[in-house]
Amino acid sequence: MLSSVLPLGFLAPGREAVVREVSGGKELRRRLGELGFVRGSVVRVVQSQSCGPLIISLGDGRVALGRGAAQKIMVEELDGRELDGRSPVK
């Protein structure tokens, strides 16, 4: 079951989510899009500590993302069953 939309920075380590929206300035949205943070992509938080960047698993790679940028990526958390045979994009 999908849950409510929240900033990527609030997602706990080990949790997966679907990107729903990327906000911010034009250059930030462009850069995040180039990294793969686009609507419908599935992300997983690998590491999130109280300070420093988040480590995000995205596709076949990992991305270190600052907390400010992570707050601009709105995601919808997955419970682990949502990708079985269904598209994550609404």
Nearest partner of 17 among 33, 37, 32, judged by Cα: 37
Average pLDDT, rounded, for the chain: 87
The rounded distance, in Å, linking the Cα atoms of 25 and 80 is 32
* Span 5-77 CATH architecture: Roll (2.30)
pTM value is 0.83
pLDDT tens by residue, 22-52: 999 999 999 999 999 999 999 999 999 888 8
Domain residue limits, the chain: 5-77
Percent of residues, the chain, with pLDDT higher than 90:
77
